[in-house]
């Protein structure tokens, strides 16, 4: 398990470590790592220019008043010593880190209020973990007119809310973020995660000084491998778990087919379908065992109820029957709307429940839409309803009733396609039926679904939910075999 730590936790760790080191050591470690990362990026960027990397490149630094600007200026000094033409612009009048600014000018860089109109690399050293959301006007103006081939944020993209990932005002959109010690929540949550680009971690020696629990946990392929129930020689189709899918209707048979496709891709050995789209499901998947209602289905180890079931009496019965049983349940789509209307159905339920809302469904359950602090909102709903909540978005979060929050590192906007949630819910149900607890199953399902989306949309292909379902076995295979394990790839 990986994680992201709040700015306060980072400051506590730094305060503990700093007195043990000569003054300025942490900033020099940060600057050295930042300069090395920039040098690698410049080398790749300028590979078409006879292998020239740093030498002869143009670098512009937007320098804020604090230590974030200090990191940027010291790193830029290192690049200047390797032959980069460096222009540093103070964005808060002339307030800049004085020693770092002196180091830059000594190395041949220039402090200026008139930078060139374009550069190879723009270094955002405006604000770091001491920043409030929003940018100084001068920074907005400069960002609007400087054309840069690559933008690198120092520690965090300036302007974002570091601890929630919300972006309530202007902020930098980076291609890369080079961060120090640990990842911060803004790298993996909300709109800020998109503005962070690719995140590179520079070790500055903080790890032994951090709180053991991150603010946000980040799933890795290794977690899924550890959690996975690999069938043994004594397993049969029942012991591997039976997933039950109560989805679809005469009006929306596709939801049934897609949810079943997600479940079949998962680790269980058996998928039961209950509902009025049985013919369509049978036609597509000979291996699914179909009944008309939840009550008629045999034993299952986890149920999904909701996708495409509508809001009529039979839909309500399906939700009631699932929640009256002892099996863990995934509540999705129309079932979430019904729970919003009849909250008492959920209140009486004793089995573990995972809710998988998008923003409008969240509002029906919570009474207001998720705030910009999406992780906080998901955690609040989970606590109120004593459930696990998987809040969908371009960076899906999973929250448990005890306040634990996970950010999903895979996934991409292309997954916002009709039926994609049905596939996710089916897979999640299979994972729960195989014995994984609700939080882990939700985290694993979001991870694999995002990875399958990446596989299906390789080469910028547009994708359908069927493509995502078809890519799931490959995504699962890659994760379990430890191969091609890049999150988001
Ligand atoms: N503390 C440490 O030991 C280390 C800190 N490091 C760097 O230091 C950074 C934190 O530095 P600071 O604490 O100096 O804080 P920042 O550099 O993030 O900036 C704080 C300054 O910006 C002003 N400010 C905040 N929000 C603003 C806004 N929206 N508009 C205009 N002005 C605003 C504040 O009044 C303050 O003067 C980290 O992100 C990291 O880059 C690294 O050098 C590693 C070691
Ligand atoms: K920054």
Q: Supply the pLDDT for residue 488.
A: 42
Each residue's pLDDT tens digit, 266-275: 998 789 999 9
Give the residue ranges of the annotated binding site for K(+). Answer: 68, 124, 158
Each residue's pLDDT tens digit, 154-171: 999 999 999 999 999 999
| 485 located within any domain | no
Nearest CA to ligand 1 atom 39: 128
d(CA 448, CA 489): 11
Q: Supply the pLDDT for residue 230.
A: 78
Quickly list H helices, 161-218.
190-196
Task: Say if residue 110 is in the same domain as residue 153.
Answer: yes
d(CA 323, ligand 2 centre) in Å? 48
Across the chain, what does the average pLDDT equal?
93
d(CA 129, ligand 1 centre) in Å? 5
Domain boundary among 215, 236, 257: 215
Task: Say if residue 362 is in the same domain as residue 458.
Answer: yes
The answer to whether the CB of 14 is under 6 A from ligand 1 is: yes
Q: How many domains does the chain have?
A: 2
Among the listed residues 248, 263, 244, the one whose alpha carbon sits nearest the alpha carbon of residue 310: 248
The answer to whether the CB of 332 is under 6 A from ligand 1 is: no
The answer to whether the CB of 338 is under 6 A from ligand 1 is: no
Band (pLDDT 50/70/90 cuts) for residue 1 is low
CATH classification of the domain holding 207: 3.40.50.10260
Task: Say if residue 275 is in the same domain as residue 325.
Answer: yes
The mean per-residue pLDDT over the stretch 375-400 comes to 95
Q: Which domain holds residue 364?
A: 221-480
Among the listed residues 3, 2, 6, the one whose alpha carbon sits nearest the alpha carbon of residue 130: 6
d(CA 244, CA 396): 24
The answer to whether the CB of 30 is under 6 A from ligand 1 is: yes
Stated pTM of the model? 0.92
Each residue's pLDDT tens digit, 96-147: 999 999 999 999 999 999 999 999 999 999 999 999 999 999 999 999 999 9
Q: From the centroid of its chain, how far is CA 269?
A: 29
- Quick check: 207 and 35 in contact, CB under 8 A? no
d(CA 404, ligand 1 centre) in Å? 28
Q: Supply the pLDDT for residue 414.
A: 66
Sign of the Cα torsion 28, 34, 40, 46 reads negative
The ligand with the least distance to the CA atom of 177 is: 2
The answer to whether the CB of 406 is under 6 A from ligand 1 is: no
| 489 located within any domain | no
Give the residue ranges of the annotated binding site for (6S)-NADPHX. Answer: 67-71, 155, 308, 358, 422
d(CA 179, CA 166): 18
The mean per-residue pLDDT over the stretch 466-484 comes to 89
CATH classification of the domain holding 374: 3.40.1190.20
The answer to whether the CB of 90 is under 6 A from ligand 1 is: no
Task: Say if residue 185 is in the same domain as residue 247.
Answer: no
Residues 6+ apart with CB under 8 A from 162: 6, 7, 129, 131, 156, 184, 185, 186, 192
Q: Supply the pLDDT for residue 173.
A: 98
Among the listed residues 260, 282, 301, the one whose alpha carbon sits nearest the alpha carbon of residue 423: 260
Q: Is 102 exposed, middle or buried (0-12, 13-18, 19+ CB in 10 A)?
A: middle
């Amino acid at each position: 398990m990986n994680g992201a730590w709040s700015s306060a936790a980072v400051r506590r760790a730094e305060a503990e470590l700093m007195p043990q080191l000569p003054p300025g050591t942490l900033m020099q470690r940060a600057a050295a790592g930042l300069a090395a990362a920039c040098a690698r990026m410049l080398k790749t960027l300028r590979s078409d220019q006879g292998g020239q990397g740093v030498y002869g490149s143009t670098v512009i630094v937007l320098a804020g008043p604090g230590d974030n600007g200090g990191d940027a200026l010291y790193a830029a000094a290192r690049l200047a010593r390797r032959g980069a033409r460096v222009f540093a612009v103070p964005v808060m009048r002339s307030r800049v880190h004085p020693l770092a600014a002196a180091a830059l000018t000594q190395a041949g860089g220039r402090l200026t209020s008139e930078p060139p109109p374009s550069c190879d690399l723009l270094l955002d050293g405006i604000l770091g973990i001491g920043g409030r959301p929003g940018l100084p006007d001068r920074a907005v103006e400069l960002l609007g007119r400087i054309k840069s081939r690559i933008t690198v944020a120092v520690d965090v993209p300036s302007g974002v809310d570091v601890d929630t990932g919300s972006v309530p005002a202007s902020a930098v959109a980076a291609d890369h973020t080079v961060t120090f010690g640990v990842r911060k929540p803004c790298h993996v949550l909300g709109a800020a995660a998109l503005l962070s680009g690719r995140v590179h971690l520079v070790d500055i020696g903080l790890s032994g000084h951090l709180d053991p629990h991150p603010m946000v946990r980040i799933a890795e392929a290794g977690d899924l491998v550890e959690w996975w129930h690999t069938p043994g020689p004594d397993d049969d189709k029942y012991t591997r778990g039976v997933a039950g899918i109560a989805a679809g209707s005469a009006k929306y048979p596709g939801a049934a087919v897609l949810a079943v496709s997600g479940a079949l891709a998962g680790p269980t050995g058996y998928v039961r379908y209950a509902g009025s789209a049985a013919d369509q499901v049978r036609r597509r998947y000979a291996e699914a065992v179909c009944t008309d209602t939840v009550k008629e289905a045999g034993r299952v180890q986890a149920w999904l109820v909701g996708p495409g079931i509508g809001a009529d009496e039979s839909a309500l019965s399906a939700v009631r029957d699932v929640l009256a049983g002892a099996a863990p349940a995934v509540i999705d789509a129309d079932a979430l709307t019904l729970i919003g209307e009849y909250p008492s159905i959920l209140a009486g339920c004793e089995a573990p429940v995972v809710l998988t809302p998008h923003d409008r469904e969240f509002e029906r359950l919570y009474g207001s839409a998720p705030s910009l602090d999406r992780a906080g909102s998901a955690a609040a709903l989970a606590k109120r309803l004593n459930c696990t909540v998987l809040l969908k978005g371009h960076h899906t979060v999973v929250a448990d009733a005890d306040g634990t929050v996970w950010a999903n590192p895979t996934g991409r906007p292309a997954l916002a396609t009709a039926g994609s949630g049905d596939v996710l819910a089916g897979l999640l149900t299979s994972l729960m039926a195989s014995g994984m607890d609700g939080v882990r199953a939700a985290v694993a399902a979001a991870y694999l679904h995002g990875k399958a989306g990446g596989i299906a949309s390789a080469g910028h292909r547009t994708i359908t939910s069927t493509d995502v379902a078809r890519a799931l076995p490959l995504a699962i295979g890659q994760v379990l075999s430890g191969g091609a394990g890049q999150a988001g790839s």
